[in-house]
Amino acid sequence: MTERKDCECERNSIPLLGQKFPSLKVQTTQGLLDLPEHFKGKWFVLFSHPADFTPVCTTEFVAFQLRYEKFKALNTELIGLSIDQVFSHIKWIEWIKENIKIEGKPVSIEFPVIADDTGKVAKKLGLIHEAKGTNTVRAVFIVDDKAVIRAILYYPQELGRNVDEILRMVKALQVSDKNSVAMPHNWPENELIGSDAIIPPAMSVQEAEQRLQQEKQGSIKCFDWWLCYKKV
């Protein structure tokens, strides 16, 4: 009978919602950074792109940069990533600045970009999907100021992201945290309740009765006891 030996094998499971963002040391266009420590006390959006010097990725980088101040107003930083080497990132950023102008002004990429030429970070975060090729897909990780992963998005290589939607998600998550509410479809422009937010459903008969009483008092509005909302 063969004796079975235990072995310790490194698990490369993809991070999940609600988990801490994994500790990573990364080479970027702004030097070596420790994640998530580098963004301590801030939210950050990490987004991967298939490759430098590609059309769709260029449009996305311009879009992220044009909204960078809006992200920073939400205490949120940006950081890009692909499996290109750092000199490729630097040259691509230079190309964007020299060739892309919006309202006559050059677009200068101000956020760092991770050069994951070994693929180690991409593997850790689940960014390479073999059925879609060997490059990173268009993934997005929204991480809060406690380094907790709050949202993960995956886009195919042929589909560019809507950066306004990512900005909306950051703002909605922050409003949700601050007010202990849930956010409706397309907040703050929902068809039913506009810019209001949803109160979590009542969990007892007594709480349901309280909701209806609160509605009578005008502090909240309800379609029924299980679907109530308020201004935020």
Instruction: State residue 10's pLDDT score.
Output: 42
Q: Is 72 exposed, middle or buried (0-12, 13-18, 19+ CB in 10 A)?
A: middle
Among 11-25, 31-45, 161-175, the range scoring the smallest mean pLDDT is: 11-25
Residues with Cβ within 8 Å of residue 216, at least 6 apart in sequence: none
Q: How confident is the model at residue 2 (pLDDT cuts 50, 70, 90)?
A: very low
pLDDT mean over 92-100: 97
Structure token pair of residue 227: 């679907």
Catalytic residue among 7, 9, 57, 228: 57
Residues of the chain with CATH 3.40.30.10: 24-161
* Residue-level pLDDT at 133: 67
At residue 9, does pLDDT exceed 70? no
Look up the pTM and report it: 0.90
pLDDT, tens only, 158-201: 899 999 999 999 999 999 999 999 999 999 999 999 999 999 98
138 and 159 Cβ atoms separated by less than 8 Å = yes
pLDDT for res 132:
73
Reply yes or no on whether the pLDDT at 45 is more than 90. Answer: yes
The CATH number for 180-232, chosen from 3.40.50.261, 2.60.40.10, 3.40.1390.10, 3.30.1020.10, is 3.30.1020.10
228 labelled catalytic: no
**Is it true that the peptide bond before 55 is cis, omega within 30 degrees of 0?**
no
Q: Are 115 and 29 in contact (CB under 8 A)?
A: yes
What CATH architecture does domain 24-161 belong to?
A: 3-Layer(aba) Sandwich (3.40)
At 144-165, the pLDDT tens digits run: 999 999 999 999 888 999 999 9
The whole-number average pLDDT for the span 89-98 is 97
Distance of CA 231 to the CA centre of its chain: 25
Are the beta carbons of 197 and 181 closer than 8 angstroms?
Answer: yes
Start-end of CATH 3.30.1020.10 domains in the chain: 180-232
Phi, psi dihedrals of residue 46, rounded to the nearest 5°: -100, 125
Span 66-86, pLDDT tens digits: 999 999 999 999 999 999 999
pLDDT digits (tens, 9 = 90+) for 100-135: 999 999 999 999 999 999 889 999 998 878 777 667
